[in-house]
Amino acid sequence: MLLEAKSKLVMIGDSITDSDRARPYGEGLFGAIGKGYVSLVDALLTAAYPERGIRVVNMGTSGNTVRDLKERWQTDVLDLKPDWLSIMIGINDVWRQYDLPAQTEQHVYIDEYEETLEALVKRARPQLQGLVLMTPFYIEPNAADPMRRTMDQYGEAVKKVAIKYDARFVDTQAAFNQVLAHIYPGTLAWDRVHPNMAGHAVLARAFLQAIEYDYNRGL
Protein backbone atom coordinates (compact mmCIF):
# COMPACT_ATOMS: atom_id res chain seq x y z
CA MET A 1 0.00 0.00 0.00
CA LEU A 2 1.38 3.34 -1.06
CA LEU A 3 0.64 5.47 2.00
CA GLU A 4 3.52 5.29 4.44
CA ALA A 5 3.45 5.45 8.23
CA LYS A 6 2.17 8.71 9.70
CA SER A 7 0.95 9.92 6.31
CA LYS A 8 -1.64 12.69 6.28
CA LEU A 9 -4.27 12.26 3.57
CA VAL A 10 -6.48 15.24 2.76
CA MET A 11 -9.54 14.48 0.65
CA ILE A 12 -11.25 17.48 -0.94
CA GLY A 13 -14.31 17.89 -3.13
CA ASP A 14 -18.02 18.70 -3.12
CA SER A 15 -21.04 17.25 -1.29
CA ILE A 16 -20.09 13.68 -2.18
CA THR A 17 -16.88 14.13 -0.23
CA ASP A 18 -18.45 16.38 2.43
CA SER A 19 -21.19 13.98 3.55
CA ASP A 20 -21.93 15.96 6.74
CA ARG A 21 -18.34 16.26 7.92
CA ALA A 22 -17.43 18.54 10.83
CA ARG A 23 -16.25 22.13 10.44
CA PRO A 24 -13.68 23.55 10.07
CA TYR A 25 -11.86 20.23 9.64
CA GLY A 26 -13.47 16.89 8.95
CA GLU A 27 -11.71 14.63 11.41
CA GLY A 28 -12.17 13.49 14.97
CA LEU A 29 -14.81 11.76 17.05
CA PHE A 30 -18.55 11.26 16.61
CA GLY A 31 -18.69 11.11 12.83
CA ALA A 32 -16.64 14.26 12.28
CA ILE A 33 -15.11 12.73 9.17
CA GLY A 34 -18.52 12.51 7.52
CA LYS A 35 -20.75 9.63 6.47
CA GLY A 36 -19.51 8.85 2.98
CA TYR A 37 -16.62 7.32 1.07
CA VAL A 38 -14.03 9.27 3.06
CA SER A 39 -15.21 7.62 6.27
CA LEU A 40 -15.01 4.21 4.60
CA VAL A 41 -11.48 4.90 3.38
CA ASP A 42 -10.44 6.01 6.85
CA ALA A 43 -12.03 2.97 8.50
CA LEU A 44 -10.50 0.47 6.11
CA LEU A 45 -7.04 2.03 6.35
CA THR A 46 -7.23 1.84 10.13
CA ALA A 47 -8.52 -1.74 10.10
CA ALA A 48 -5.86 -3.13 7.76
CA TYR A 49 -2.91 -0.85 8.55
CA PRO A 50 -3.34 0.18 12.22
CA GLU A 51 0.40 0.43 12.82
CA ARG A 52 0.83 3.11 10.15
CA GLY A 53 -1.26 5.71 11.98
CA ILE A 54 -2.57 7.26 8.78
CA ARG A 55 -4.46 10.52 9.33
CA VAL A 56 -7.41 11.22 7.02
CA VAL A 57 -8.92 14.73 6.84
CA ASN A 58 -12.17 15.42 4.99
CA MET A 59 -12.25 18.87 3.38
CA GLY A 60 -15.24 18.41 1.09
CA THR A 61 -17.79 21.24 0.89
CA SER A 62 -21.30 20.75 -0.44
CA GLY A 63 -22.13 22.63 -3.63
CA ASN A 64 -18.52 23.32 -4.56
CA THR A 65 -17.20 23.64 -8.08
CA VAL A 66 -13.57 23.87 -9.08
CA ARG A 67 -13.93 27.66 -8.72
CA ASP A 68 -14.74 27.22 -5.04
CA LEU A 69 -11.75 24.95 -4.57
CA LYS A 70 -9.58 27.69 -6.02
CA GLU A 71 -10.88 30.18 -3.43
CA ARG A 72 -10.08 27.90 -0.48
CA TRP A 73 -7.03 26.08 -1.81
CA GLN A 74 -4.52 27.84 0.43
CA THR A 75 -6.38 27.34 3.71
CA ASP A 76 -7.99 23.97 3.01
CA VAL A 77 -5.14 22.22 1.23
CA LEU A 78 -1.75 23.91 1.23
CA ASP A 79 -1.87 25.13 4.84
CA LEU A 80 -2.79 21.62 6.02
CA LYS A 81 0.47 20.26 4.58
CA PRO A 82 -0.83 16.88 3.42
CA ASP A 83 1.48 14.07 2.40
CA TRP A 84 -1.22 12.73 0.09
CA LEU A 85 -4.06 14.63 -1.53
CA SER A 86 -7.21 13.30 -3.15
CA ILE A 87 -9.38 15.55 -5.35
CA MET A 88 -12.83 14.72 -6.67
CA ILE A 89 -14.57 17.75 -8.17
CA GLY A 90 -16.69 18.50 -11.22
CA ILE A 91 -20.20 17.21 -10.58
CA ASN A 92 -21.60 20.66 -9.80
CA ASP A 93 -19.54 22.20 -12.61
CA VAL A 94 -21.56 19.99 -14.97
CA TRP A 95 -24.86 19.75 -13.10
CA ARG A 96 -25.52 23.49 -13.01
CA GLN A 97 -25.47 23.45 -16.81
CA TYR A 98 -28.49 21.12 -16.70
CA ASP A 99 -30.53 21.98 -13.60
CA LEU A 100 -29.96 25.75 -13.89
CA PRO A 101 -29.53 26.20 -17.65
CA ALA A 102 -30.44 29.90 -17.65
CA GLN A 103 -28.05 30.84 -14.85
CA THR A 104 -24.95 30.72 -16.99
CA GLU A 105 -22.83 32.51 -14.39
CA GLN A 106 -22.93 29.30 -12.37
CA HIS A 107 -21.74 27.14 -15.24
CA VAL A 108 -18.12 26.02 -15.27
CA TYR A 109 -17.38 24.95 -18.81
CA ILE A 110 -14.76 22.41 -19.60
CA ASP A 111 -11.93 24.73 -20.64
CA GLU A 112 -12.15 26.67 -17.37
CA TYR A 113 -12.56 23.43 -15.44
CA GLU A 114 -9.44 21.80 -16.84
CA GLU A 115 -7.36 24.97 -16.61
CA THR A 116 -8.34 25.60 -12.99
CA LEU A 117 -7.88 21.99 -11.90
CA GLU A 118 -4.44 21.90 -13.46
CA ALA A 119 -3.46 25.18 -11.78
CA LEU A 120 -4.49 23.84 -8.38
CA VAL A 121 -2.65 20.58 -8.90
CA LYS A 122 0.44 22.45 -10.05
CA ARG A 123 0.45 24.50 -6.83
CA ALA A 124 0.08 21.50 -4.56
CA ARG A 125 2.12 18.82 -6.33
CA PRO A 126 5.64 19.86 -5.21
CA GLN A 127 4.81 19.37 -1.51
CA LEU A 128 3.02 16.04 -1.94
CA GLN A 129 4.30 12.49 -1.69
CA GLY A 130 1.28 11.33 -3.64
CA LEU A 131 -1.78 12.62 -5.46
CA VAL A 132 -5.06 10.93 -6.40
CA LEU A 133 -7.38 12.49 -8.98
CA MET A 134 -10.90 11.08 -9.09
CA THR A 135 -13.29 11.85 -11.93
CA PRO A 136 -16.74 13.32 -11.45
CA PHE A 137 -19.54 10.87 -12.24
CA TYR A 138 -23.21 10.53 -13.09
CA ILE A 139 -24.93 7.35 -11.94
CA GLU A 140 -26.60 6.79 -15.31
CA PRO A 141 -25.76 3.77 -17.51
CA ASN A 142 -26.82 5.44 -20.76
CA ALA A 143 -23.63 7.07 -22.09
CA ALA A 144 -25.72 9.03 -24.61
CA ASP A 145 -27.62 10.84 -21.85
CA PRO A 146 -26.63 14.53 -22.20
CA MET A 147 -25.45 15.03 -18.64
CA ARG A 148 -23.64 11.68 -18.59
CA ARG A 149 -21.95 12.53 -21.89
CA THR A 150 -20.76 15.89 -20.54
CA MET A 151 -19.60 14.30 -17.29
CA ASP A 152 -17.52 11.82 -19.26
CA GLN A 153 -15.82 14.71 -21.05
CA TYR A 154 -14.88 16.27 -17.72
CA GLY A 155 -13.57 12.89 -16.62
CA GLU A 156 -11.26 12.87 -19.63
CA ALA A 157 -9.97 16.28 -18.57
CA VAL A 158 -9.14 14.85 -15.13
CA LYS A 159 -7.28 12.00 -16.79
CA LYS A 160 -5.14 14.43 -18.80
CA VAL A 161 -4.16 16.33 -15.65
CA ALA A 162 -3.44 13.07 -13.80
CA ILE A 163 -1.08 11.90 -16.52
CA LYS A 164 0.71 15.25 -16.69
CA TYR A 165 1.30 15.45 -12.93
CA ASP A 166 2.01 11.79 -12.20
CA ALA A 167 -1.16 11.27 -10.16
CA ARG A 168 -3.04 8.12 -9.39
CA PHE A 169 -6.14 8.25 -11.59
CA VAL A 170 -9.52 6.94 -10.42
CA ASP A 171 -12.21 6.55 -13.07
CA THR A 172 -15.23 6.64 -10.78
CA GLN A 173 -17.64 6.43 -13.72
CA ALA A 174 -16.08 3.15 -14.81
CA ALA A 175 -16.41 1.85 -11.25
CA PHE A 176 -20.11 2.73 -11.19
CA ASN A 177 -20.63 1.30 -14.67
CA GLN A 178 -19.57 -2.14 -13.43
CA VAL A 179 -22.30 -2.03 -10.79
CA LEU A 180 -24.90 -0.43 -13.10
CA ALA A 181 -24.60 -3.42 -15.41
CA HIS A 182 -26.55 -5.31 -12.76
CA ILE A 183 -28.74 -2.88 -10.80
CA TYR A 184 -30.94 0.17 -11.39
CA PRO A 185 -29.34 3.62 -10.78
CA GLY A 186 -31.89 4.47 -8.08
CA THR A 187 -30.49 1.60 -6.04
CA LEU A 188 -27.30 3.63 -5.63
CA ALA A 189 -28.54 7.23 -5.73
CA TRP A 190 -32.09 8.63 -5.84
CA ASP A 191 -30.94 11.62 -7.93
CA ARG A 192 -28.15 9.75 -9.76
CA VAL A 193 -25.62 12.02 -8.05
CA HIS A 194 -25.67 11.64 -4.25
CA PRO A 195 -24.84 8.01 -3.48
CA ASN A 196 -26.24 5.92 -0.67
CA MET A 197 -23.79 3.84 1.35
CA ALA A 198 -23.50 1.22 -1.39
CA GLY A 199 -22.57 3.98 -3.83
CA HIS A 200 -20.04 5.41 -1.40
CA ALA A 201 -18.57 1.92 -1.08
CA VAL A 202 -18.04 1.89 -4.85
CA LEU A 203 -16.07 5.14 -4.55
CA ALA A 204 -14.06 3.98 -1.54
CA ARG A 205 -13.20 0.70 -3.25
CA ALA A 206 -12.02 2.51 -6.40
CA PHE A 207 -9.88 4.88 -4.34
CA LEU A 208 -8.31 2.07 -2.32
CA GLN A 209 -7.46 0.14 -5.47
CA ALA A 210 -5.61 3.22 -6.75
CA ILE A 211 -3.39 3.33 -3.66
CA GLU A 212 -2.76 -0.44 -3.82
CA TYR A 213 -4.66 -1.28 -0.67
CA ASP A 214 -4.41 -4.95 0.33
CA TYR A 215 -7.78 -6.27 1.46
CA ASN A 216 -6.21 -9.53 2.63
CA ARG A 217 -3.53 -7.99 4.80
CA GLY A 218 -3.37 -9.59 8.21
CA LEU A 219 -6.01 -12.21 7.48
pLDDT tens profile 3-60: 999 999 999 999 999 999 999 999 999 999 999 999 999 999 999 999 999 999 999 9
The confidence band for 183, taking pLDDT boundaries of 50, 70 and 90, is very high
pTM attached to this predicted model: 0.96
Q: How many whole angstroms separate alpha carbon 74 and alpha carbon 136? A: 22
Tell me whether residue 15 is one of the annotated catalytic residues.
yes
Q: Which residues contact 12 (CB under 8 A, 6 or more apart)?
A: 59, 60, 69, 76, 77, 85, 86, 87, 88, 89
> Mean of the per-residue pLDDT values for the chain?
97
User: Which pLDDT belongs to residue 145?
Assistant: 97
Average pLDDT rounded to a whole number, residues 138-153: 97
Q: How many whole angstroms separate alpha carbon 128 and alpha carbon 100? A: 36
The confidence band for 175, taking pLDDT boundaries of 50, 70 and 90, is very high
Tell me whether residue 191 is one of the annotated catalytic residues.
yes
Residue ranges of domains in the chain, CATH in brackets: 8-210 (3.40.50.1110)
Bond from prior residue into 24 cis (ω within 30 degrees of 0) = yes
Catalytic residue among 79, 99, 191, 214: 191
Is the pLDDT at 155 greater than 90? The verdict is yes
The confidence band for 65, taking pLDDT boundaries of 50, 70 and 90, is very high
Q: How many whole angstroms separate alpha carbon 64 and alpha carbon 178? A: 27
Catalytic residue among 62, 194, 200, 214: 194
Average pLDDT rounded to a whole number, residues 88-97: 98
Q: How many whole angstroms separate alpha carbon 93 and alpha carbon 25? A: 24
Catalytic residue among 7, 15, 83, 171: 15
User: Which pLDDT belongs to residue 219?
Assistant: 65
Calculate the CA 146 to chain-centre distance.
22
Please provide the DSSP assignment of 37-67 as one string.
Answer: HHHHHHHHHHHH-GGG--EEEE---TT--HH
Beta strands of the chain (E only): which ranges?
Answer: 8-13, 55-58, 84-88, 130-134, 168-170
User: Which pLDDT belongs to residue 217?
Assistant: 83
The confidence band for 208, taking pLDDT boundaries of 50, 70 and 90, is very high
Which residue has better confidence, 218 or 80?
80
